[in-house]
Amino acid sequence: MTDIFDDLAAEYAQLHAVLAALTPAQWSHPSAAAGWTVSDVVLHLAQTEELAAASIAGTLPGPRARGEVDAMAADAVAAERDIAPADLLARWRAAVSPTAAALRAHPRGNRLTWVAGTLSPATLATTRLAEHWAHALDIAVPLGIPYPDTSRLWHIAWLGHRTLPYAFDVEGLAGGPVYCELTSPGGDLWRFGDPAAPSSVTGPAADFCRVGARRLAAADSALKATGPHGADALVVLRNYAF
């Protein structure tokens, strides 16, 4: 594991390199997020990063009901989608610039309000990394722009595994311990959970993270699930806010 706050800043930098090179036509190109252009996706990232700043400042309203979140995000984008690309890029940069350092400096024992609950500063940093990574794919893949997987996926895989009990509960499925043994982009093995667990998921970490982001169907991945809860774990797996 590397430092989550350093890795969050690195994810911002990788996405910025892509955004700064986009042409006007690419900003208006459809993204992989249904109904959203590339500009819409960047606007969403800027808006949610501004919510993260409010959370850090202690001014974000209390947790929202799970069913509200998607509708609120769609409405927020629809209300502001006429921003020029240069202004939008500047807004996103201004929003992300202080986040990693502010989360690192936040008292570790203090919980931060976020979407459907409260999170530690490190976990909020992880959710911001996961959201930026997933939406970076929404931008880069349709445009044919390389967006290489990195060791930063460790944090996203950790988040997906760590929240499996909650994910089972949300979906109304009986769950149980699941051990994950995932191959990193660099070829290392990442292990999450108890190897003696009755259920397991093995395969590429990149696939695990994409399944958790709903960017890849489990059936189309190279992941293998075993035991009484392995297959269901891939059904409920998600590394984004409920």
Is 148 part of any domain?
no
Q: Choose the final residue of a domain: 118, 143, 168.
A: 143
Of 7-21, 31-45, 68-82, 174-188, least confident by mean pLDDT is 68-82
- Please indicate, yes or no, if residue 82 is contained in any of the structural domains: yes
In DSSP notation, 197-218 reads -SEEEEEEHHHHHHHHTTSS-G
Whether residue 106 is contained in a domain is answered as yes
Same domain, 88 and 164: no
Looking at 143, 176, 211, which one is the last position of a domain? 143
What size, in residues, is the chain? 242
Percent of the chain at pLDDT exceeding 90: 89
| 124 and 226 assigned to the same domain | no
What is the phi/psi pair of residue 77, to 5°?
Answer: -65, -45
Q: Please check whether residues 14 and 92 belong to one and the same domain.
A: yes
Q: Are 126 and 28 found together in one domain?
A: yes
Look at the chain and report how many structural domains it folds into. 2
Arithmetic mean of pLDDT, 161-177: 93
Quote the domain boundaries for residue 14.
Answer: 4-143
For residue 217, name the pLDDT band (cuts at 50, 70, 90): very high
Per-position DSSP letters for 143-197, written without gaps between them: HT------TTHHHHHHHHHHTHHHHHHHHT-----EEEEEE-TTS-EEEES-TT-
Residues 127 and 72 in one domain: yes
Higher pLDDT, 54 or 2: 54
Q: Is the pTM of this model over 0.75?
A: yes
Pair 10, 129 in one domain: yes
Mean pLDDT in residue range 233-241: 90
Higher-scoring residue by pLDDT: 242, 73: 73
Residue pLDDT, tens place only, 61-104: 876 766 678 888 999 999 999 999 999 999 999 999 999 999 99
Same domain, 16 and 115: yes
Domain CATH code at residue 223: 3.30.1050
Is residue 241, in this structure, part of any structural domain at all?
A: no
